[in-house]
Amino acid sequence: MSAELRSVCDIRPLAIADLPAVLAIERAAYDFPWSEGIFRDCLRVGYRGFAAVGPDGALKGYAMLSVAVGDAHLLNLCVSPLCRRQGVATQLLEQLIGQARRQAADTLLLEVRPSNRGAVALYHANGFNEVGVRRRYYPASHGREDALILARAL
Ligand SMILES: CC(C)(COP(=O)(O)OP(=O)(O)OC[C@H]1O[C@@H](n2cnc3c(N)ncnc32)[C@H](O)[C@@H]1OP(=O)(O)O)[C@@H](O)C(=O)NCCC(=O)NCCS
């Protein structure tokens, strides 16, 4: 089914008031979640936060994007475990790609753990290709894990 046909949420700017719901999802989703301070710092310096909300206003997912001199960087993309495989991440990606284009970026970059097979599949399904590896980039339960660097031309 196309993402358009199964559109299940509205996308709006992420606000400080969303942070309690964001942190609940973040902590459920990641072994090494971002802190509240990281989200606050991102919004304070002007990074673009996106909130995906259902018809009842409940937060289903969120994303954080930075754009600087031609390159956009997807810093976080996360969907509530209760709302996955409904196209929420795909809708968030469409919105942030539009934002990056409006800010004149010509490439969208991101890092992802190679072990995160669902996310890697999502990005490949949305036109991203592997362009490099950052060695020992992520904390892991035993030491560190590499990051794949993925890029999509805009
Ligand atoms: C990765 C994540 C963002 C995907 O969110 P989602 O809303 O479930 O993704 P979508 O429904 O838009 O998926 C679109 C397509 O991506 C692929 N995909 C998404 N999740 C997948 C999974 N777990 N396994 C395999 N393919 C997957 C599929 O091709 C899917 O299409 P389909 O459902 O028609 O098969 C979500 O699982 C998540 O928040 N994970 C924890 C946080 C995280 O890892 N974020 C990425 C950090 S780089």
- Cα–Cα distance between 109 and 130 in angstroms, integer? 10
Taking only the tens place, the pLDDT of each residue in 32-81 is 999 999 999 999 999 999 999 999 999 999 999 999 988 999 999 999 99
DSSP tag of 55: T
Checking if the pLDDT of 7 tops 80, the result is no
Pocket perturbation via mutation, ligand 1, pick of 83, 95, 122, 146 by most ligand atoms within 8 A of CB: 122
pLDDT higher than 50, residue 139: yes
Report the distance separating Cα 80 and Cα 22, nearest Å. Answer: 9
Would residue 123 show up in a list of annotated catalytic residues for this protein?
A: yes
For domain 10-153, give the CATH number: 3.40.630.30
Assess whether 138 carries a catalytic annotation.
Answer: no
Domain ranges in the chain? 10-153
Residue of the nearest CA to atom 16 in ligand 1? 122
pLDDT at 41: 98
Strand partners of residue 145: 138
Catalytic: which of 111, 130, 137, 145? 111
